[in-house]
Chains A and B, each alone.
Chain A
């Protein structure tokens, strides 16, 4: 539980109304997930029932209730990527990281996510690691890409 961080996040929002998802985004990027204690603190501070917050945290793909790895590998499974073989890229990443979608590696270096279209269809198949987009990815490039992010 990090009161100072939470208060700093809440201070960024002049009103709560219409900003709950924004607050959760800030929390997600600060903590790398949504810790239970901090969500309860948020509920107390904002008077929004914890069940409503919990429901939202579960509903949206961008929020995670489990700690995530240092780097997030996001494979685009949009239609363009699908017809251009994104599944093979996904399979290769799964094999190299030895995790399934939604999981993190044991050393917490990587989390694997899938996304339905990042709108980079002309780069299909696309993979996003943290903020960096890789286009026309072939399975054999995966090792090199992942290596760049390993500390």
Chain B
């Protein structure tokens, strides 16, 4: 049993296991804190700054992001003070300034009471630079197909030399974790395309499932997973079987996918 830590969030007394973040503890207690860059299976980077909270109690009063701040005995957390709400709304306005038509962002902004932005830039960019795609590709898949380029306002996600990536394995995790749909994956017939800003970053031919005949995954990805990832105990990994057919077999389903929560849509 992990040690339990006692803290207060919005006046509510909460116990959370040592090592969890304030954000996780709040979620477990059913308290909503908006966030864009946080993703359960990824190490938090604390860059979107939406999940800011006010802290006091056992530490010096300050504002911090709750995805990185770990729970601490005696910590007092406020998630909706006037100051937090004001800052959070302004950050959302700033994000909307560049992505005014991004539906997911508009939804979240609406939830936080922001209807319009005073900072329109004339851009229409769905990418909000949360970096989930870069992190999943680098830290979880290990393909290193995506990276950040440029600095400051010009920072953006790119492949090496901003061309079709040799390193992409076509797993689609980047599209899966993208909170705004800025990176998209599209399977059409035996073709898979991953694209962003209307530009294709990777293109693959899909393999057919030996059982149902459906196109389901690129060869490169299947090979990669076989080399890198899991060998579920008790089953021989049969080549070229789509996840749905695999699930239908009598054998226990591969319990431990290397990266949870169905982030591998094609597996």
| A and B physically associate | yes
Task: Please report A residues at the B interface, Cβ cutoff 8 Å.
Answer: 36, 49-52, 54-55, 58-59
* Contact partners of A49 in chain B: CB under 8 A: 138, 144, 147, 167
B167→A55 contact, CB < 8 A:
no
Contact residues, B145-160 vs A (CB, 8 A): 145-151, 158-160
A54→B160 contact, CB < 8 A:
yes
A51→B167 contact, CB < 8 A:
yes
Task: Please report B residues at the A interface, Cβ cutoff 8 Å.
Answer: 138, 144-151, 158-161, 167
Taking chain A's interface residues, is the majority helix, strand, or loop, or is none over half, making it mixed? helix
Taking A49-B167, A50-B167 as contacts, is the C-beta distance between A55 and B161 under 8 angstroms? no
Closest Cβ neighbor of B159 among chain A residues: A51
A51→B160 contact, CB < 8 A:
yes
Q: List 9 A-B contacts (CB under 8 A).
A: A49-B144, A49-B147, A50-B167, A51-B159, A52-B147, A54-B158, A54-B160, A55-B148, A59-B151
* Contact partners of A59 in chain B: CB under 8 A: 148-151
B160→A50 contact, CB < 8 A:
yes
* Contact partners of B145 in chain A: CB under 8 A: 51
Q: With A and B bound together, what is the CA distance between A143 and B148 in angstroms? A: 40
* Contact partners of A51 in chain B: CB under 8 A: 138, 144-147, 159-160, 167
Q: A55-B149, A58-B149 are in contact. List 12 more A-B contacts (CB 8 A).
A: A49-B167, A50-B167, A51-B145, A51-B159, A51-B160, A51-B167, A52-B144, A54-B147, A54-B158, A55-B147, A55-B148, A59-B150
* Contact partners of B159 in chain A: CB under 8 A: 51
CB distance from A27 to the nearest CB of B (A): 16
A54→B144 contact, CB < 8 A:
no
CB distance from B169 to the nearest CB of A (A): 13
* Contact partners of B161 in chain A: CB under 8 A: 36, 54
Q: With A and B bound together, what is the CA distance between A113 and B109 in angstroms? A: 41
CB distance from A49 to the nearest CB of B (A): 4
